[in-house]
Amino acid sequence: MKKVLFVCGGNVGRSQMAQMFLKKLHPEYEVSSAGFNVSIPGQRIGDKEEAKDVIRAMREEGVDMSDNTRTVFDPSMLADFDVVVILEKESKIPDYIKANKKLIFWDIVDPYKMGYEVSAVVRDQIKGLVVEGFK
């Protein structure tokens, strides 16, 4: 079984969307997500007002991620996964991760507080990358 970790800034939008798309596409994979800057670990995505546009965009794809919870990225996670996909600007990635051979880098705009339209565009970009990257 392949183990995949998706990581973004706050573990609210991008990494959560990627996790849900990969779970839907490849249920045989073990898939998780985390964030470098999670303010409230364990918080339900649906309880975060700023996540409403991302949740709406994913519901249009038949995916409800409102019960997903936020996880803080810990460097020890690198050993637990076969592939680590970073969905963040390179300048925001800690140096100790950049050299890891398991790393895949997707430069995706953070839809945080940017409205539904941006969330939908980001959703479509992530869906395309998941479909292409995990055949």
Least confident residue range of 37-46, 71-80, 93-102: 93-102
Predicted TM-score of the model (pTM): 0.95
How much of the chain, in percent, has pLDDT values that exceed 90? Answer: 87
Say yes or no to pLDDT of 98 above 90.
Answer: no
Q: Which domain holds residue 58?
A: 3-133
CA dist 129 → 72, 105, 126 (Å): 23, 11, 5
Residue 35 dihedral angles phi and psi, to the nearest 5°:
-135, 150
Domain count along the chain: 1
**pLDDT bucket at 83, cuts 50 / 70 / 90:** very high
Say yes or no to pLDDT of 61 above 90.
Answer: yes
CA dist 134 → 26, 42, 89 (Å): 8, 28, 21
Number of C-beta neighbours around residue 83 at 10 A: 17
Q: What is the pLDDT of residue 127?
A: 98
What's 58's domain CATH number? 3.40.50.2300
